[in-house]
Amino acid sequence: MIDHILSRLQRVRTRLDGSFAASCPTSFHEHGDRSQGLRIKSTEDGTVLIHCPAGCRAEEIMGAIGLTLADLYPPRSDGYQPSRAPVWPARDLIQIISHEALIAHFGAQKLANGEELTEEDRQRLFTATNRIQAALSAGGIHVRR
């Protein structure tokens, strides 16, 4: 199980105590984690422990590599399978929403100036609203229309 997580990380190295160090994958590290600060260790029962000294949350770290917190734990004997939906770092969601809101702003500006929207413009606005809705849902925010 730890191998599955390690395979998704960059610059992994084994430490003397048997744990691992890697570059933290979150967007908090604007230029990448050059210090290989992320620590990864497997416990006797197969649980994987991760820690970033910069304060990145486990949800953010796992989401950045396309996994969930459930992937840190061994399979349960009762067969329970938790949701496999990826967890996205808040910073990434905000960037997506900001970019798509800018697209919507340009469309609204065209309309305000009396310009007609082309079919391509309408399709792009439709895509922007879908992406904003998806990002909000991924962040646990549900907006009624």
Structure confidence at residue 116 (pLDDT): 93
Structure confidence at residue 9 (pLDDT): 92
Cα–Cα distance measured from residue 89 to residue 139, given in angstroms and rounded to the nearest whole number: 8
Structure confidence at residue 31 (pLDDT): 56
- Both tokens of 79, joined, read 């067969």
- Both tokens of 77, joined, read 């004997």
User: Domain residues of the chain, as ranges?
Assistant: 2-72, 90-138
Structure confidence at residue 86 (pLDDT): 59
Q: What does residue 51 show for φ and ψ, rounded to 5 degrees?
A: -150, 130
Please tell me the pTM assigned to this model: 0.54
- Both tokens of 74, joined, read 């061994």
Structure confidence at residue 17 (pLDDT): 92
Structure confidence at residue 13 (pLDDT): 93
Structure confidence at residue 50 (pLDDT): 95
Structure confidence at residue 136 (pLDDT): 78
Q: pLDDT tens, position by position, for the chain (145 residues)?
A: 899 999 999 889 999 999 999 999 887 776 566 678 899 999 998 899 999 988 888 888 898 888 888 889 988 777 766 665 556 677 778 888 898 899 999 999 999 999 999 999 988 888 888 888 777 776 666 555 4
Give the C-alpha distances (Å, rounded to integers) separating 95 from 28, 90, 103, 108, 133.
13, 9, 13, 20, 13
Structure confidence at residue 39 (pLDDT): 95
